[in-house]
Structure 1
Amino acid sequence: MKRPSSLLLALLLLPAAPTLADRGARPAAAAALVPVAILPKDGNEQYELAFWESIKDSSHAADYEAYLNTYPNGRFAALAKARIARLKADAAKTTPKAEQPKAEATRPEAPKAEAPKVEPAPKPEAPPPAARKPEKQEKPRLKAVEQAPASAGADAPPPAVPPAAAAAQELRDCPTCPPLVSLPAGAFNMGSSTGDPSERPVHRVSLARPFAIGKYEVTRGQWAECVSAGACQRAGENGEPGEPVRDVSWDDAQQYLKWLSQKTGKSYRLPTEAEWEYAARAGSGSRFWWGDQMRPKMANCKDCGEPWRKEGPAAAGSFAPNAFGLHDTSGSVWEWVADCWHPSHAGAPADARAREAPNCRTRVIRGGSWRDGESYMTSATRFKYDSGVRQSQNGFRVARWVD
C-alpha cells in the first residue's frame, strides 16, 4: 500500500516490478531505480495504485467493489468490473441455489482459520479469570510512561511477561464486551524520521489523562452481537467468531461504538491517532514495539512467520502482546482511528487530540494487515481510506476514557 512517487510509471513497466507488499524482495535492477524512501508521498495516483496493489489478487468481489466506490473512473475500473463478474459467476456455479442467502449470494465462503501453532492465548470472547472474579477495590494503575530512546534495547528479546503487561489493569464492561487495557498518562515521540514523509516530523505528544483501549481488535463474534441487536449490518466474508471483524468502514465502526455505548452506559469511541501509536509503541522508540528487526510470532503479516495464512488474519490474540498487553497492533487488520487524514504530522496537536478538518471524508488507518510485508508493521505506519469504504483488510479496536 506504499510506494515512492518518483519513477512510478517506469516501475510499472519493469518485467519484475515489485508489489507493494514485497518491498523487501525487490530485484536488484529495480531496487537501483527506487529512491531510499520506502513509503508513498501524498498523491491520488499513488494512493489509487496502492489500493489496487492491495486487492489485485483478492478472491472477494467486495474488494473490487470497494475500489470502484472510491475510484469509479480509475485506471483499473474495467478490470475491477471484470473480476467482479467472474467471481459472481464462479460463486453461482459452486453454491447450490437453495443455500444462497440473498445478502451473500455473490461472495464465496472464505476458508476457515487454521488452528494457531503457538502457545494458546486467552480467547477475547471469554472473560479472563481476573475478569470473572468481582473486585472489591480497584487495582493499582500503571505509572506514567516515558518512551524509551529508540536505541535502548532495540534488539533485546522481550521479557516472557512484560512488566507493563503484568501490571496493566484489564477492564470489561459486560461479559461479551471487548476487553480493555487501562493505559497511564505519559509522553512519547510520535512518528518516524526514516520512513514516509507522512510519518514526519517526529514530534513530542503528551497524554494528560489515562484511557482504556481494546486489548484486541473487535472480533466477528462481538460484531455479530451488534448485528443481532439490529444496530449494525453484517460485515464482509464469513469467518470464525474469534477472528478480527473486517470489511467494515469508518462509518460502520461508528454504529458499533454507538450501540456499545448505549449497551454499557460508557462513552466508547475510536482511539485518536496519537493514542493509537502511544498504545502500539508501549514505551518503545524502535521501529517495531519489540525492536528494530522482525522476529517470528510477533506480528501477523506475510513476512512475519507462523501462524499465517493468505486467506485471512489469525484469531485475535494469536501473536505476542506488547508491553502494555495489547495484541495485533502490528498486522492482522488495518485499524481505523478517529482522525481526519493529513499528509504529514506537521501542525499535529501535542496533546493527543484527534485531528479534524471541515467536511472530512478521508480517515486514518494504522498498523498494517496480514496481507502486507514486514515494512508495514512499524509503529509509525499510517495510511488512509474514505470513511465510507469497506475493504477486507480494515477493522478497528475500541477506546474510552478511564472513569
Structure 2
Amino acid sequence: MLSLLRCAIGICLVFVVGYALAAGEKRIALVIGNSAYPGAPLTNPVNDARDMAAALKKLGFEVIEKTNVRQKEMNRAIGEFGGKLRTDSVALFFYAGHGIQVKGKNYLVPIDAQIATEASVRIETVDVDGVLDQLASSPLNIVILDACRNNPFERRFRAIGGGLAQMDAPKGSLIAYATAPGKVASDGTGRNGLYTAELLKALEPAGLKIEEVFKQVRINVAKASGDNQIPWEASSLTGDFYFKAGTQVAQLTPTVMSARTPQQIEDELWDSIKGTDKPSVLEEYLKQYPGGRYVGQARVKLAEMTALPARMEVPPAAPTMTSTSSTITAGQTFRDCQDCPEMVLLPTGIAMSRTPITQKQWRAIMGGIPSQFANCGEDCPVEQVSWNDAQEYIRTLNQRTGKAYRLPKEQEWYAACKAGHETTYCGGDNLDSVAWQRRNSGNTVHPVAQKQPNSWGLYDMSGNVNQWMEDCHNSRCSSRMLRGGSWHSFEDSVRLGSTNGGDAEPSYSDSAIGFRVVR
C-alpha cells in the first residue's frame, strides 16, 4: 500500500487558533534538506533548505538548520525544535527531500534509510504525525514539506493511487500544495525547485497575509510551467498571519506581481484553473473569492462534477419494496438472506444498509477479510477494500440473492445523510454523538451502530470509515468518489455535504475506507 509523495510536491500546513500576532512573539523554525541519498541523490533540497533558512532568519525566525541528516539526528533535531516552543511561539518546520506514504500516513526519508519492504518504512523513516505532535504547545504552526524528486522507491513497491496521502485541512488551517496531488512538480532549471523558488520570492514583500503569499506563488508557478504545474490550497484559517508585517499594502516586484490589480490576479487565477477536473480546486476558488467574477461559472462546473442536488424530493406516496415474501414499507428494516446486510427502506424509494458493511457480513459472502483492523471484531466495518473489491462483494451478493444491490450514487447518499434535516453532520449537530473521527477514535475503527443514528435509522454515515460511491469523479472515470469521512478525518471532512472524502482510483484500498450498499 505504498505510494509516493510525488516529485517536489510541497505541502504547507498552517494551524491558526484565533491567533493575533503579539509584538513579543517568538518565531522558531526547523529547516531540513536531504540530498545525499545513496544511489538516488537529489539536486535541490539542500539548496532549498539553505535558502529557506536564510529567508526565515531575515523574517525574524530563530532557525535550526540541518542538511543531509540521518534518522537519529533528524529525530534529535525535531525533539530540540519541539522543546523550544512555548505558548506564544510561531513554529515553522520545513523539509525538502524524499517522502513516501504507506496506508494513508506520510513519512520523511533520512539519508541513511534502508527501505527493503513496506513494513520497514515505519522503522527507517520519520513519521510526519510525530512532527505535528511536537508542535502541540505552539498556537501557530507552519509545516512545509517539499517532498521527493524521482523517488527511488516507486519501482520497488506496488503504488496505490497517485501522489500524496490525503491530508484534511482541520479548522483554522491551510494546506498548500506545490501542484495538484498526483501530479509532478518541476525541479526548476536553477538553484531551487520551481515551487520553492517562487515561495522565496513571495516571502520578500511586506504586508501580505499568508493567503496572499500562496496566491502569488500559484500564479507565478502556473505561468512559469505553462500551466503544467498549478499550486493550490485548502484552507479553513480563522486568523491572519503575516511573514513580514507592513503598514501599507505591499508592492511586489515585477517577477511576482508586476503591479497587478486584484481583479487581474483573480482573472489570471481563473485562467489557470478553469479547465480543472478536481472539485476541490473550484471549492477553494469559491472560498477565496466568494463574490468573484467567475463564481457563477465555478458553481455550475462544480455542480456538474459533484452532482449534489440542492434538494432531494421525497416521493409523495410512501414507497414499498418486497423482500422474500414480505412487503416492506418506508422505515422498516429487513434482510434478503441470513448473511445479507440489514437494510432500511428510505422515504426516497431505495433501501440502504443501516451500517457500513461489517467484517462479519464480508466474511459470510467472500470468505476471509482484508481489514487492517481485523482484531477489532466482527461488528467493525470491513476496511482496506478498494472500489473493485466492493464491486466483487456486490456481484457475489447479487448472485446469492437474485437481487440488484449496488453502491449508492452520491446524490442518494447525500439525501440519506440529510434524512430530511439540515444538520451539521449526518444525524445531528454534536460531532461526538454521531461520528468516530480523529479526535475521539483512538486511531482505529470502531464497531458499527455505537453512535447516534440519523432520523432515517442509518448509522455511521459520518465518520468511522469513508464510503465508496458508484459515481465517477471525472469524465474519464479514472477515480471514484468517497464520502462521509473516517476515524482518521478532521471534523470538517465529516460534515454533511462535505466533499473532503475525496476520490481514489478503483484499485486503491486503505484502512480508512469501507462501503455500504443500496438496492
Report the TM-score, using the length of structure 2 for normalisation: 0.40
Alpha-carbon distance, 1:284 to partner: 1.2
1:182 alignment partner, one of 337, 340, 345: 345
Give SS of 2:362's match.
helix
Alpha-carbon distance, 1:328 to partner: 0.2
Alpha-carbon distance, 1:314 to partner: 1.1
1:227 alignment partner, one of 346, 354, 366: 366
Contact kept in structure 2, 1:227 and 1:234, CA below 8 Å: no
Structure 1, unaligned runs of 5 or more = 1-7, 19-24, 31-62, 91-133, 143-167, 186-209, 343-356
In structure 2, the partner of 1:302 is 438
Structure 2, unaligned runs of 5 or more = 1-8, 22-99, 125-322
Name the CA distance, whole Å, in 2 between partners of 1:182 and 1:282: 12
Contact kept in structure 2, 1:214 and 1:397, CA below 8 Å: yes
**Residue by residue, what CA displacement relative to the aligned partner does 1:269-311 show, whole Å, maximum 9, x if unpaired?**
00001101111110112332344x43432211133x5xx322x
Give SS of 1:391's match.
coil
Residue identity matched to 2:12: L
**Residue by residue, what CA displacement relative to the aligned partner does 1:45-99 show, whole Å, maximum 9, x if unpaired?**
xxxxxxxxxxxxxxxxxx945569xx9xx99899895883426879xxxxxxxxx
Name the CA distance, whole Å, in 1 between partners of 2:110 and 2:340: 40
Residue identity matched to 2:19: A
**Residue by residue, what CA displacement relative to the aligned partner does 1:94-138 show, whole Å, maximum 9, x if unpaired?**
xxxxxxxxxxxxxxxxxxxxxxxxxxxxxxxxxxxxxxxx99863
Which structure has more relative contact order (CA 8 Å, sep 6+)? It is 1
Alpha-carbon distance, 1:26 to partner: 4.3
Alpha-carbon distance, 1:235 to partner: 3.9
Contact kept in structure 2, 1:330 and 1:368, CA below 8 Å: yes
Residue 387 (structure 1) aligned with residue 506 (structure 2): yes
Contact kept in structure 1, 2:115 and 2:121, CA below 8 Å: no
Name the CA distance, whole Å, in 2 between partners of 1:399 and 1:283: 18
Q: Give the 3 Å change call, closer, same or farther, for CA 387–173 of structure 1 in structure 2.
A: same
Q: Give the 3 Å change call, closer, same or farther, for CA 246–27 of structure 1 in structure 2.
A: farther
In structure 2, the partner of 1:339 is 471
Q: Give the 3 Å change call, closer, same or farther, for CA 235–10 of structure 1 in structure 2.
A: closer
Residue identity matched to 2:327: E
Contact kept in structure 1, 2:427 and 2:453, CA below 8 Å: no
Contact kept in structure 1, 2:371 and 2:511, CA below 8 Å: no
**Residue by residue, what CA displacement relative to the aligned partner does 1:335-390 show, whole Å, maximum 9, x if unpaired?**
00100014xxxxxxxxxxxxxx34x2200000000111222221212211111111
Residue identity matched to 1:373: F
1:215 alignment partner, one of 354, 357, 365: 354
In structure 2, the partner of 1:201 is none
**Residue by residue, what CA displacement relative to the aligned partner does 1:233-253 show, whole Å, maximum 9, x if unpaired?**
734442211100001000010
1:366 alignment partner, one of 483, 486, 492: 483
In structure 2, the partner of 1:11 is 12
User: Which of 1 and 2 has greater Rg?
Assistant: 2
Name the CA distance, whole Å, in 2 between partners of 1:274 and 1:220: 26
Residue identity matched to 2:346: L
Name the CA distance, whole Å, in 2 between partners of 1:262 and 1:318: 31
Residue 171 (structure 1) aligned with residue 334 (structure 2): yes
Residue identity matched to 2:493: Y
**Residue by residue, what CA displacement relative to the aligned partner does 1:125-169 show, whole Å, maximum 9, x if unpaired?**
xxxxxxxxx998635x33xxxxxxxxxxxxxxxxxxxxxxxxx11
Name the CA distance, whole Å, in 2 between partners of 1:77 and 1:181: 51
1:28 alignment partner, one of 12, 15, 19: 19
In structure 2, the partner of 1:398 is 517
Name the CA distance, whole Å, in 1 between partners of 2:118 and 2:11: 28
Report the TM-score, using the length of structure 1 for normalisation: 0.50
In structure 2, the partner of 1:38 is none
In structure 2, the partner of 1:244 is 381
Q: Give the 3 Å change call, closer, same or farther, for CA 245–233 of structure 1 in structure 2.
A: closer
Contact kept in structure 2, 1:294 and 1:374, CA below 8 Å: no
Report runs of 4+ in structure 1 exceeding 6 Å deviation.
74-80
User: Which structure is higher in strand share?
Assistant: 2
Q: Which residues of 2 match residues 109-120 of structure 1 at below 5 A?
A: none
Q: Give the 3 Å change call, closer, same or farther, for CA 387–26 of structure 1 in structure 2.
A: farther
CA RMSD of aligned residues (A): 3.6
Contact kept in structure 1, 2:386 and 2:509, CA below 8 Å: yes
Contact kept in structure 2, 1:66 and 1:389, CA below 8 Å: no
Q: Give the 3 Å change call, closer, same or farther, for CA 247–29 of structure 1 in structure 2.
A: farther
Contact kept in structure 2, 1:220 and 1:244, CA below 8 Å: yes
Residue identity matched to 1:396: F
Name the CA distance, whole Å, in 1 between partners of 2:18 and 2:120: 32
1:264 alignment partner, one of 401, 406, 411: 401
Q: Give the 3 Å change call, closer, same or farther, for CA 286–80 of structure 1 in structure 2.
A: farther
Contact kept in structure 1, 2:425 and 2:434, CA below 8 Å: no
Alpha-carbon distance, 1:224 to partner: 1.3
Residue identity matched to 1:371: H
Contact kept in structure 2, 1:224 and 1:234, CA below 8 Å: no
Name the CA distance, whole Å, in 1 between partners of 2:123 and 2:354: 40
In structure 1, the partner of 2:120 is 86
Name the CA distance, whole Å, in 1 between partners of 2:427 and 2:325: 35
Name the CA distance, whole Å, in 1 between partners of 2:516 and 2:448: 11
Name the CA distance, whole Å, in 1 between partners of 2:120 and 2:514: 27
**Residue by residue, what CA displacement relative to the aligned partner does 1:5-51 show, whole Å, maximum 9, x if unpaired?**
xxx95835xxxx44xxxxxx747279xxxxxxxxxxxxxxxxxxxxx
Alpha-carbon distance, 1:327 to partner: 0.1
**Residue by residue, what CA displacement relative to the aligned partner does 1:318-339 show, whole Å, maximum 9, x if unpaired?**
1111000000000000000100
